[in-house]
Amino acid sequence: MKFSRKNGTYKTMKTQKTFLTPYPEVNAVLDWMLAEEQAVLGSRFVGLYLHGSLAYGDFNPETSDIDFVVVTDGPLPAEAFTDLKELHTRLFAAGLPGSRKLEGAYIPKDNLRRHDPAHAPIPWLGVDGHFALEPLGSDWIIQRWILREKGIVVAGPPLAELIDPVSADNLREAVRGSLREWWSPPFPSPERFQSDEYQAYAVLTMCRSLYVLEHGRVASKPEAARWALEAFGEPWRELISAAAAWRPEMEFDKLNEALEFILFTLHHTPRIYNETFSQ
């Protein structure tokens, strides 16, 4: 598939080139992104990589995002940010299958190598098409581990050359940071919990957080859910099973149970639990 700048639509022009995944809609987006990003960034382009469920091999076309990272040679100037924002606006609006599942970041290679909270905000794309400068939170320690250990190279050098090893202790501390920043009451943007999708996402995120705290490595959300079912059983079996099976056309509507499971997870991180509930 090829993007037509003339009318903003997609049409078949030649055989698909990218066969990195079993999903044609993902490969089509990757082809388009790679060509357009290289044109915009020029010599600043270092590589394009996939992580998340695609890297773990449990991508679900109905529910999964296409998680990507573009590595750049240094911070991007304002004009490059503007060009990238226009690029993603066109892609989001054009309707290419998979274009509204993209979520990713443009990270200078020095920032990717190791996590530093003092690093400047970087260009970030949300699945809703929002493109803005965002800081890299402690959860990016987890994403760096996934990239280094599981990431898929679309273009560029191997990720092990770009990212320092992430230790088990680093991962556990990153999970504690994420629980503190995003999952300890009062929750940021609590209105999100009204969404069935977000409730299911919260339950699976807690499963993965507990898995990392126990094992010192990262599992995919489905793998972590299977482990949590065995590790914790009742009274969480029905909730975890429902979260793992959730699809967009299904109801979830388990707000109280999801919040209780978050509190259960915080109980397994006593330092955060005490910080949250001793005030």
| Domains in the chain, CATH or no CATH each | 2-165 (3.30.460.10), 170-277 (no CATH)
Give the pTM.
0.86
Share of the chain above pLDDT 70, in %: 90
- What b/e sequence results for 181-209 when a residue is b if at least 16 CB atoms lie within 10 Å of its CB, and e otherwise? eebbeeeeeeeeeeebebbbbbbbbbbbb
134 pLDDT more than 70: yes
Band (278; pLDDT cuts 50, 70, 90): low
123 pLDDT more than 80: yes
* CB-based contact 226:236 (threshold 8 Å): no
* CB-based contact 105:70 (threshold 8 Å): yes
In the beta sheet, which residues pair with residue 107? 71
Least confident of 109-113, 130-134, 190-194, 267-271: 267-271
261 pLDDT more than 90: yes
96 pLDDT more than 90: no
Band (4; pLDDT cuts 50, 70, 90): very low
pLDDT number for residue 94:
78
